[in-house]
Amino acid sequence: MLSRAARAVWTRRRGGLLALATVTGTGLAACSAGPGASNSAASDSAGARGDASPGEPCFQSSGKAWDDNWDRMAEVSEKRAAQWAEKAHKSKDARPSRPCRTIVLVRHGQYEQASRKKYMENNEGLDHDWWLEWDAACKLTPLGREQATLAGKRLAEIARAHDYTYDAVYYSDQKRATETAQLILDELEKSGSSNNNNNQEDGPPAHVEQLIREGNPIQPVPASRTYKPSDVDCYEDGSRIEAAFRKHIHRAPLHQHHDTHEILVCHGNVIRYFVCRALQFDPAAWLRFAVYNTGITVIRVGHNGNVSVSAIGDTGHLPAEKVTYS
């Protein structure tokens, strides 16, 4: 039983608490504003999110609690509904087409922590690209390779248990992600958990995707004492990572009639930004949670554009002693 003082606190805060408990995509600015906050504060926050100045995200917030047209494909849902209504009118046996897109995001395994600063200093003034040498040095550790193999086995087991196959695997071109993807693909190939219509190989079609390489999507809020990306880095990386989100996270196109499952092997910052954007949270919140090595994140986009996240950085495939962050 709550005391009178506790009930008073609950009464004052319940609007904000209930809003924060709604994880179907309510914007963070709307949640934190609460019933007693000024409208100007909320509008100022929304305006900041739409400003493309250095350090700010590269999209314009709708200002709504949930934007049904967040992927600019609401018209597709309307056309799909119209097609279904027409088929239902002609035949009682018609079945609605409600395809769901499932995007599985996997962070790379543990890797060798090569000093980026050292490579920059050693190659100062030289013509060749120091970044390529540094990236090549950031290869998976033996534990990282084991983590990736276990992640591949887990993904194959899930596909078998739910009777589906993976339609494609996209992976960052950075060394640690490329190696992780190959080990995952090896396990999917062994299990036959793929949907390769070209019959060119046993595993799912694999594609290098430079858009999902690691970067700084936006200045985090609150600011970190140790992690301080420059505004220039956020401005450059943010555009690329936002483009990656728009390319890979959206509802099914009109020609798609069946569920699809795709895997993206990438990096922690990218994954956290994707989760915030997909749920329409303030993307500046991306640094408030962590994703472990080979952690599995699952984003589902329904035929009507509704989004759910059923896992964030799941490491159930790893024994406790093999769970690492970097």
Contact 227, 287 (CB under 8 A): yes
- Pairing of β 206-208 and β 260-266: unpaired
Determine the longest span between alpha carbons in the chain, in angstroms: 73
How far is 110 from 105, CA to CA, in rounded Å? 16
Half-sphere exposure of 50 (CA within 13 A, CB side): 10
- Pairing of β 260-266 and β 168-171: parallel
Q: In the 8-state DSSP scheme, what is residue 239? A: H
- Pairing of β 296-301 and β 307-314: antiparallel
Whether residue 217 is preceded by a cis peptide bond, meaning omega within 30 degrees of 0, is: no
Q: Does 4 carry a binding-site annotation?
A: no
**Structural element, H or E, at residue 179:** helix 175-191
Q: Which residue positions form the known binding site?
A: 176
Annotated binding-site positions for substrate: 176
